[in-house]
């Protein structure tokens, strides 16, 4: 399995690749992709955090969330990264009180557009089964394709097993490995706005080192943080 084969080097490759491939704003995503929240009378934004290639960085997100109950995050779980197992109990507690959502970012971070239909299904199901076992809740129907690489075939194949909501983004914190916190802060300031889905990565400390400033951006702009599920599929 990928999780056994994972090495520090391969996680670093994910972190770097995520940074290189992540465009700032909405690209020309195929029809059916979601990159913004539905319109609402509430000023709101979705902070989404991918990968968890750095276990210690993910730990900082968990601790920050535990100290700040009004902060909400949707995590896109890369189930092959050991961080999600290490923090499973604390993540489950945050999930169960509605503060976080755990969504699907596949098992091993392959470009889905380069995989066969069967392997796309295997990647999504493997992450789904991991999350069901660790957190007791489905990731469906939300998934984010690694590197934002998606096409009509991937959308169709994912939908065939219940992943009907491909989540992309509008605005990136540029939070790759080796990025300066000042760069993250500048990007966050540029993109945090009403109705946005912004993308961040738990692959290093570049965001965690400026958590107070990031939280202040949400506060000063009078934006409520919401999970994707509560914004897109309210009960």
Shortest distance, CB of residue 220 to Zn ion, whole angstroms? 29
Q: Around 41, how many Cα atoms within 13 Å sit in the side-chain half-sphere?
A: 0
Q: How far is the CB of 207 from Zn ion (least distance, A)?
A: 14
Question: Smallest distance, Å, CB 2 to Zn ion?
Answer: 14
Total site size for Zn ion, rule CB under 5 A = 4
200 binds Zn ion (CB under 5 A): no
- In the bound state with Zn ion, the residue whose beta carbon lies nearer, of 81 and 188, is 81
Q: How many whole angstroms from its chain centre is CA 63?
A: 17
The pattern of x and - marking residues 43 through 62 that bind Zn ion according to CB under 5 A reads: -------xx-----------
Task: Name the 3-class secondary structure at 191.
Answer: helix
**Contacts (CB under 5 A) with Zn ion, residues 10-29:** 18
Extract the runs of DSSP E, i.e. beta strands, from the chain.
Answer: 44-51, 73-77, 100-104, 142-143, 165-166, 197-201, 224-225
Question: Residue 103 CB: number of other CB atoms within 10 A?
Answer: 26
Nearer to Zn ion, 82 or 224 (CB): 82
Of 66-74, 138-146, 162-170, 180-188: span binding Zn ion (CB under 5 A): 138-146
Region 145-174 residues binding Zn ion, contact defined as CB under 5 A? 146
Q: Is 123 in the site for Zn ion (CB under 5 A)?
A: no
Give dist(CA 193, CA 215) in Å, integer: 13
Q: How far apart are CA 65 and CA 131, in angstroms?
A: 19
Q: Kindly list the residues in this chain that would bind Zn ion in the complex (CB under 5 A).
A: 18, 50-51, 146
């Amino acid at each position: 399995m990928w999780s056994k084969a994972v090495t520090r080097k391969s996680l670093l490759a994910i972190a770097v690749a995520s940074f290189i491939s992540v465009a700032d704003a909405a690209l020309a995503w195929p029809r059916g992709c979601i990159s913004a929240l539905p319109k609402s009378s509430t000023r709101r934004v979705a902070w989404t955090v991918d990968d968890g290639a750095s276990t210690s960085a993910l730990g900082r997100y968990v601790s920050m969330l535990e100290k700040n109950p009004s902060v909400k995050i949707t995590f896109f779980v890369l189930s092959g990264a050991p961080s999600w197992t290490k923090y499973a109990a604390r993540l489950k507690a945050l999930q169960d009180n509605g503060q976080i959502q755990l969504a699907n970012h596949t098992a091993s971070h392959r470009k889905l557009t380069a995989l066969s239909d069967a392997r796309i299904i295997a990647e999504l199901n493997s992450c789904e089964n991991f999350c069901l076992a660790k957190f007791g809740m489905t990731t469906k129907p939300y998934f984010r394709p690694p590197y934002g690489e998606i096409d009509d075939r991937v959308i169709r194949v994912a939908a065939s097993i219940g992943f009907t909501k491909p989540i992309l983004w509008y605005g990136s914190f540029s939070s790759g490995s080796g990025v300066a916190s000042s760069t993250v802060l500048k990007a966050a300031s540029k993109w945090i706005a009403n109705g946005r889905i912004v993308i961040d990565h738990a692959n290093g400390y570049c965001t965690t080192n400026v958590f107070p400033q990031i939280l202040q951006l949400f506060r000063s702009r009078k934006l409520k943080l919401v999970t994707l599920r509560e914004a897109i599929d309210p009960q």
